[in-house]
Amino acid sequence: MTPIETLAAFLAARDDAEHFVAPEMRSRLLPGTDGRVFVLMHGLTASPPAWDAIATALNARGATVLSLRLPLHGYTDRLSTALLALTPDLLRRDLLDVLTAVAALGAPITLAGHSLGGTLALYGAAQSDSVDRVVAVAPYLGISFLPHETHVLLIPLINVLPNFFMWWDPVLRERQLPAHGYPRYPLHTLATGLAIADAVYAHADRMPAARAIDLVLNERESSVNNRAAVHLAERWRAGGASVAIHRLAGLPPSHDVIDPSRPNSSRVRDALVGILCGEHVAEDRTLIL
């Protein structure tokens, strides 16, 4: 088999191992022609279609694009309880396995993620030599109104509480769209993301493995802690890392900025495709959308 066929077979087997994954939620591999490789990761309770518009645009420019389904996501039953089994170790091990498989293509990897996917992308930046560049969109490095320093107390507190499900929208509940995402999440997954974020922070005084890191933040972020992302950038920069912060201005208060169904999604798509395909420059800028 060719390297791209081997990767496709690996991804198919990975999805097949979780028997309840919906066909339209499986990982999506779009082969390209120009030697660039992008791996795109969705956020908590979402699935690969969240990246469809951006993946299509990148592929149209010649890139190979993998929209990766995170473990225990994308099941046919939107009220699945599968996420009760989500752990930091499961996500970290899976990511490193995927990056090993993608590295066999022999091309530089740009690893991008939104929210929890952005947190994982930053973990990959710190840990994986196969990652050339990372673009983290609204990474979940903390809850918007809580200082990062509270994590040492918050993570154990969350984990001792009952792991009950919470609705993203308590009014719409199971009717919430988009259809490719779960409408609820278990409490402990909040601690799961924070634990991965803290693993990134633990190594932030060292040079990351990735050559370049781009953080993309909505100036009117509604859910995650932008201050934590800026603080992480400062710590990496102090150690010599090449980090850029892109602030998206002109959007409404929101967190799920990449989904094609959201307001202003076409403007966000164009901005992100420009960042992903553009040359990395280690300086901060504001993009008016």
Q: Whole-angstrom Cα distance, residue 9 to residue 19?
A: 16
Residue 263's pLDDT is: 75
CA 95 to chain centre: 11
| pLDDT for 51 | 96
So what's the pLDDT on residue 149? 80
3-state DSSP assignment of residue 254: strand
Round to whole Å and give the CA distance between 123 and 125.
5
Task: Give pTM, 2 decimals.
Answer: 0.96
- Nearest one of 228, 248, 259, 237 to 151, comparing CA atoms: 228
Locate 5 and state its tokens.
């066929």
Q: What tens-digit pLDDT sequence spans the chain (289 residues)?
A: 999 999 999 999 999 999 999 999 999 999 999 999 999 999 999 999 999 999 999 999 999 999 999 999 999 999 999 999 999 999 999 999 999 999 999 999 999 999 999 999 999 998 888 999 999 999 999 998 888 888 888 899 999 999 999 999 999 999 998 999 999 999 999 999 999 999 999 889 889 999 999 999 999 999 999 999 999 999 999 999 999 999 999 999 999 999 887 778 889 999 999 999 999 999 999 999 8
∠ Cα 253 54 59 (to 5°): 170
- The Cα-based distances of 153 to 87, 88, 119, 228 in angstroms read 18, 17, 20, 16
* Enclosing domain of residue 58: 3-288
Q: What is the pLDDT of residue 203?
A: 85
* Count of other CB atoms within 10 angstroms of residue 95: 26
CA distance 78 to 176: 10
CA distance 102 to 40: 12
- Domain containing residue 65: CATH number: 3.40.50.1820
Q: What's the domain count of the chain?
A: 1
At 112 the pLDDT is: 98
Q: What sign has the CA pseudo-torsion 271, 275, 278, 281?
A: positive
Residues in the chain: 289
Cα separation, 52 vs 185, in Å, equals 23
